[in-house]
Amino acid sequence: MKLQFPLSALAFATLLSGCQNMSPDAMLQTGMMAVQAATLSDAEVKSQADQACVQMDAEAPIAPADSKYSQRLDKIAANLGSQIHGTPVNYKVYLTDEVNAWAMANGCVRVYSGLMDLMTDNEVEGVLGHEMGHVALGHTKKAMQAAYATSAARNAAASSGNGAAAALSSSQIGELGEALVNAQFSQSQESDADDFSFDLLTQRGVNREGLVTAFEKLAKLGSGESSMFDSHPASAERAAHIRARIAANK
C-alpha cells in the first residue's frame, strides 16, 4: 500500500517541484487550481470522469456486444443493478490480459478480459461490487480531486510564460484517467469497499462466496502480475473478513 497524502500536500508538492520555472502569475494560477480541485462538486467530478472515461475507451480494445465477454458481463450487470446511488452504470470489457477492473464517479465501470478469464461470474460480481463501492463511498471523488490537482499544477507550470493555465489537454485527460485507474486507496477505504460489495450482493440476492474466492485468487498472484494485487493489499486477510461475515450472516 502506498502512503496517502492530503490533497493540499499533493498539490503543494507538485507546485514546489516546478516553482523555480514559474512566473508569479503561474504560481498564483496553480494555487487557485489546487483550491478548485479540492472543492470540485459532484457534477464537476462526474464531468471530468466523463472525459477521462471517453479517453480511456478510445485507447482500449473494447469487446464487441456479441463477444463472449460482453455477454457474460451483461449477465453480471443484471445481477448487480444499473445504478450506483442514482448514477446510471455503463459496463464495458477491455480485451487485455491484465487482471484488473475499475469504476469512475460517472458510472463508468470497466472490467478486463484477463480478470474474467481468471474468475467465475460470481467472483467478477464480487470484484465489481467492490469497485462500485469506491464510487458510492466517495473514494473515487477524492482520487479525482487529487489527480486533477496534479494535472492542473503541471498545466500551470507548462503555461507559465502566458501567465495563465489553459484547460487540460487531451493527453492530460488521458493521464488523469490513468491516475484514477491506478489510484491507491487506504486500507480503511478498501475495507469499506469490501463491505459495500458484501452488502450489495446481499441486497441483490447474489452469492457472497465469490467475493471471498476472488480475493483468494488475487492473493495467489505474485506482485506485478496484477495491478489489482498492487492496489488492493492484504487480499488473504480481507477474504477472511468476508468469510467471517458470511458465517455470522451479517
Quick: pLDDT tens for 19-70. Answer: 445 455 544 445 555 555 566 788 888 888 899 999 999 999 999 999 999 9
Rounded to whole angstroms, the Cα distance separating 133 from 42 reads 16
Confidence of residue 6 (pLDDT cuts 50, 70, 90): very low
Q: What angle do CA 37, 43, 48 make, to 5 degrees?
A: 60
Tell whether 141 is covered by a domain. yes
Determine which helix (DSSP H) or strand (DSSP E) holds 47, and give its type and residue range: helix 42-58
pLDDT value for 43: 87
Whether residue 1 is contained in a domain is answered as no
Determine the pLDDT at residue 160: 46
User: What pLDDT does residue 219 have?
Assistant: 84
Least-confidence region, from 6-15, 41-50, 57-66, 235-244 = 6-15
Structural domain contains residue 59: yes
The x, y and z cell numbers of residue 226, run together, are 496484477
Indicate the DSSP class of residue 20: G
Residue 214 lies in a domain: yes
**Residue 166 falls within a domain, yes or no?**
yes
The DSSP code sequence of 105-135 is: TTSEEEEEHHHHHHS-HHHHHHHHHHHHHHH
Whether residue 71 is contained in a domain is answered as yes
Q: Is 220 domain-assigned?
A: yes
| pLDDT, tens digit (0-9, with 9 covering 90-100), for 67-115 | 999 999 999 999 999 999 899 999 999 999 999 999 999 999 999 999 9
Look at residue 122 and tell me whether its pLDDT is greater than 90.
Answer: yes
Q: Is residue 2 part of a domain?
A: no
How would residue 12 be classed by pLDDT, with cut points 50, 70 and 90?
Answer: very low
Rounded average pLDDT over 200-218: 95
| pLDDT above 90 for 7 | no
Pair 102, 110: CB distance under 8 Å? yes
- Residue 131 is among the residues annotated as catalytic for this protein: yes
Domain region containing 126: 7-248
Q: How far is CA 84 from CA 63, 118, 140, in A?
A: 23, 25, 13
* Residue from 131, 190, 216, 237 carrying the catalytic annotation: 131
Q: What is the pLDDT of residue 179?
A: 72
d(CA 6, CA 76): 36
Largest CA distance in the chain: 63
- The answer to whether the beta carbons of residues 19 and 156 sit under 8 Å apart is no
Total of domains in the chain: 1
Query: Which of 39-53, 123-137, 212-226 tops mean pLDDT?
Result: 123-137
